[in-house]
Structure 1
């Protein structure tokens, strides 16, 4: 039986994940699952002191994303209905591997696998890849207060971490189709043709 599309839009901070996922949800008439960001009570403290608040931040994200994923499994995926998300839960490992160290990292990875190993993974990933200057421009444009002092080195490292993660996913989850978008060149917000090209690729997988 052909699986209903479970589409995830991914990329580092500021790539435009939520914007693209929302546009595609409207174009394709799909329900959308959006990640919780600003509701995380530890996020301001994290950007002020990453070492002290990383574990609390990452655990909050993990538990909330786990609950969201369980909900879409029961509401859509188990019923054969397509759905789109503005994240892949795998991002928890991308970020935690960067922010956590030693025993805390190992504990976190164990909890992650206990919670997520038996849950469905997206069969389509749209990966928005962009360089630092593009991400910084988009971060400034959306104007989130807690992101104003984001460490440029941290953001650059996330770009590299995402590249490595997508390569790993392609190798270990061959049933997942990854569509990579050059976010420095493709402007799916201002250029209608750019967006339509992305939407067309997704429609082909839904036929």
Structure 2
């Protein structure tokens, strides 16, 4: 933990992480660091054949997030400056545990810890919780071509995985404030009241 807030916004695919992170960065005048997604050259292949392309996909994400965390450490954490991101690096383990074979997962876990254990972690987290119908609706609305082939069963398991991951973080990082947003009933884009409630929660629990 460090004095300046390092806020991560998390949730399953389609939950609205980047949208909310962008809104909050503007609200508090904090720099925003967004994860690299569409630039991943393995995304299309992964959604067509997860077993074949999962390791390449996850390694690309891990290496890019590692470089971003290095930059966050240098430009914000070491200077005690605030920052907002639309992901927590622990999401790498959430996705990898679901998609990688045991053989690949054993290798991946070693690389993950080697790269990230000595890098800064968020000292506050916003978790957008949402059901499968909500995620599917939002994914369809944003119209990313590579997401057209997402298996709803895969999304369903991600929802469950995120719930387990959040509980894991609560146990392993008991001092980490986690603000949970019920995405099925909270419209932070269209409802100013809903959005301001999130802002107020952050002011009370983080700032």
Work out the CA distance in 1 between the residues paired with 2:37 and 2:71: 18
Shift of 1:3: 1.9
Shift of 1:158: 0.1
Work out the CA distance in 1 between the residues paired with 2:186 and 2:124: 19
Query: Contact 1:51–1:99 (CA<8 Å) still a contact in 2?
Result: yes
Work out the CA distance in 1 between the residues paired with 2:4 and 2:175: 13
Classify the secondary structure of the residue corresponding to 1:8. Answer: strand
Q: Which moved more, 1:87-96 or 1:116-125?
A: 116-125
Work out the CA distance in 1 between the residues paired with 2:14 and 2:140: 9
Shift of 1:203: 2.1
Q: Which moved more, 1:118-127 or 1:5-14?
A: 118-127
Classify the secondary structure of the residue corresponding to 2:204. Answer: helix
* Partner residue in 2 for 1:88: 88
In the alignment, structure 1 segments of 5+ residues that lack a partner are: none
Shift of 1:206: 4.8
In the superposition, the TM-score normalised over structure 2's length comes to: 0.98
Work out the CA distance in 1 between the residues paired with 2:39 and 2:3: 32
Query: Contact 2:2–2:77 (CA<8 Å) still a contact in 1?
Result: no
TM alignment of 1:101-112, pairs within 5 A: 101-112=101-112
* Partner residue in 2 for 1:145: 145
* Partner residue in 1 for 2:117: 117
Classify the secondary structure of the residue corresponding to 1:4. Answer: coil
Query: Contact 1:35–1:65 (CA<8 Å) still a contact in 2?
Result: yes
Query: Quick check: 1:31 aligned with 2:31?
Result: yes
Query: Quick check: 1:135 aligned with 2:128?
Result: no
Query: Contact 1:34–1:85 (CA<8 Å) still a contact in 2?
Result: yes
Query: Contact 1:7–1:122 (CA<8 Å) still a contact in 2?
Result: yes
Q: Which moved more, 1:193-202 or 1:90-99?
A: 193-202
Shift of 1:200: 1.4
Runs of 4+, deviation exceeding 6 Å: none
The root-mean-square deviation of aligned C-alpha atoms, in Å, is: 1.1
* Partner residue in 2 for 1:203: 203
In the superposition, the TM-score normalised over structure 1's length comes to: 0.98
Shift of 1:146: 0.7
Work out the CA distance in 1 between the residues paired with 2:32 and 2:72: 9
Shift of 1:103: 1.1
In the alignment, structure 2 segments of 5+ residues that lack a partner are: none
